[in-house]
A and B are shown apart, each in its own frame.
Chain A
């Protein structure tokens, strides 16, 4: 038996199939995984992401600390409520985790990191924080619901008072606001519009039921995975880890090498790579033949060598198989994938595959 979120009993009551995910008992699906996927693309769905780890950082030097800790530059966050996606790197430029940092005020920032890396991240962050006298507090008192889809914000706003709803609906993309009891962010992991909402654990069951009664579908981690893959978003542990660096993980855009004076952890290892280029790159694949791409399948790129699929699935929106693969930098437009000994044809594409309900790649 793993750890359980405040919604565990409700998931059971709703008939979810529960699986171990990073040490947590989480719902993988409630009914049809493809049905849940389409609900998010076409209307709205709600996910329990309470297993993710919320870390509050407080102190006079918290901004300076984050300038050191993160590969992306919190200098880009100038107005309170702003959010930024970043990698957390080790000294060799390997990716310890990916996260979202929220700027609440000059002495208070919030991180949301992955569930499976919780202990490692907390230990790392606490060690690094000492020199900056920043207080690191893990928030285990909160639940987190992701409400995603074209109708998600309008539905979720109905759980709020009129004044709060006005504030939440006025949020720009990648911004958050603190309401009386809830923290609402216009962020997500699906390629759709929506909110991620932090709330006291005691509010979570009632909020979920209210969303269901408004027609928001309960969605599991299965649909979350197909949605994020279509949206071109990496999954930590699959698509990148400590043995890979951002430039070979399609995350070069999140590494802020300017200003040159910002000495973030991993910078010295990455600077030469930024100049010389990486030997490998992470690309999207669409399978031209019939079958399903899966992680660890071998990719053969004529003339440039071999690579490997890092995440693969069947795309319910495109109705064909898609994947991310780490391949030699010289790989161009066509590869072959070894699926159970058969070499099938796949096309190299630039993710995302789907955005706001619409296919971007045909």
Chain B
């Protein structure tokens, strides 16, 4: 398993969060998550303008085997869904922390501070505890 990017924050449910230069957040699933899912064949991302609550099912990633919800780690308004994934769902497998991002979000006031996000080191401990 590849090393976790240090500049990202993580959730227990295996999402990652990147803060972009303009304060927008980019969200995806971790390399551990994509590996556990297997070959992705369909990804549904939220439309721009949708308002989401923390913990709300926001995207769906489907492998050959099964469909899985991806939950919003932080409340806010979606500014973009990664529409490229409709043609290339496998980008989540091959580049989970880059081209495989799922949606971008303008966080609601105070939402980022309120979210229970982990550092790479803490998330690594979660993975170690899971045997991953």
Contacts and interface: CB of A to CB of B under 8 A. Distances in A.
A292 B39 contact: no
Interface stretch (A29-37, A46-54, A56-64): A29-37
A222 B41 contact: no
A290 to B, nearest CB: 7
Nearest to B38: A33
Contacts of A294: 66-67
B72 to A, nearest CB: 16
Given A291-B42, A292-B41, A314 B86 contact: no
A314 B60 contact: no
Contacts, number: 36
A157 B65 CA distance: 33
Contacts of B47: none
A76 interface: no
Interface residues of A, number: 17
Interface size band for B: 10 to 19
Contacts of A291: 42, 44, 62
Given A32-B39, A34-B39, A316 B86 contact: no
Nearest to A19: B65
Contact of B38 (A222, A292, A316, A321): A222
Contacts of B41: 34, 292, 314
14 contacts: A32-B38, A32-B39, A33-B63, A33-B64, A33-B65, A290-B86, A291-B44, A291-B62, A292-B42, A292-B67, A314-B42, A314-B64, A316-B64, A340-B60
Interface of B: 38-39, 41-42, 44, 60, 62-67, 86
Interface of A: 28-29, 32-35, 222, 226, 290-292, 294, 313-314, 316, 321, 340
